Amino acid sequence: MIKNSPSLGEGVASDFAENQAIVFSMYFKSRNAQPFTMKRRIKGIAAAIAAFSVLAVGSPIVASAQSAGVPNAVDITNQIRNDTWKARNDLHKEAEKLDPNSAQKAKELVDGAANAVAPGIVDEKNKEAQEAKDRAEAERLAKERENFDYGSCPPTAAACVDLTKQRTWLQKNGKVFGPARDMSSGAVGWETPKGTHRVVRKVKNEVSRPFNNAPMPYSVYFTNNGIAFHEGNPNLWSHGCVHLRHDDAVQYFDELQVGDVVYVY
């Protein structure tokens, strides 16, 4: 009886699996083992990625197309790119076992090899991942806006301050703009005044003269007696102002304009 010879895909898959095992055993030895040079390690990782392109040619989808006598170039290309990306991610995980500097160099070489096998694959996949992340964040924010607790803040306000929950937010066209921010308001005896106010002036590099020139970066005053939004520690009570973290203070300074309504309740 004549036995069937192994298919091209089976042979390549076997060779690749053996080659990958050798590469990994060489590349990722423990620090106590005899070390290989970085150059040799990098060559090993690059070879593993390149070998995957050969493996892809013998993959089931290619074999199916070949046996049918009608190769589908699009399917073959997609399979090669998908397999290359999987191999790239597997090698990145292995590279994480190295020291940070070596890991970064290894990842760069892996990405270069992956791009050689499947041109543009790294940028393409990273873009897809970022777009998926952006969509998820947009959906989260949309849901948050839909269920947002506006308290008694009117749609006409550009900024709202909730003293009870120690939060503040910006509004555009009557809808919350961005997330609610943590803040701190005036301590007992220095309470932040409630009610409807308007932005009266803005000073980027402000200091508090009544309090020994304490820094008040990105001040947005909304009363005529020194009450403002400004950068400060939201974990510390103020002398009446609204403390914001740096990034929030910068955004409030940029977004709020003289005449805008600030509502405190």
Q: Active site residue: 160, 241, 243, 246, which one?
A: 241
The answer to whether 144 and 192 have CB atoms below 8 angstroms apart is no
Per the DSSP assignment, residues forming a β-bridge with 219 are 203
Q: How far apart are CA 129 and CA 139, in angstroms?
A: 15
In terms of C-beta density within 10 A (0-12 exposed, 13-18 middle, 19 or more buried), how is residue 15 classed? middle
Residue with tokens 């400004």: 230
Phi/psi of residue 55, nearest 5 degrees: -60, -40
DSSP letters of 135-172? HHHHHHHHHHHHT---TT--TT-SEEEETTTTEEEEEE
Q: Any catalytic annotation for residue 241? A: yes
Q: Are 171 and 159 in contact (CB under 8 A)?
A: yes
Out of 230, 239, 243, 246, pick the active-site residue. Answer: 230
CB-based contact 6:15 (threshold 8 Å): no
Given the structure tokens 């060559």, which residue do they identify? 43
Judge whether 230 counts as a catalytic residue.
yes
Enzyme catalytic residues: 230, 241
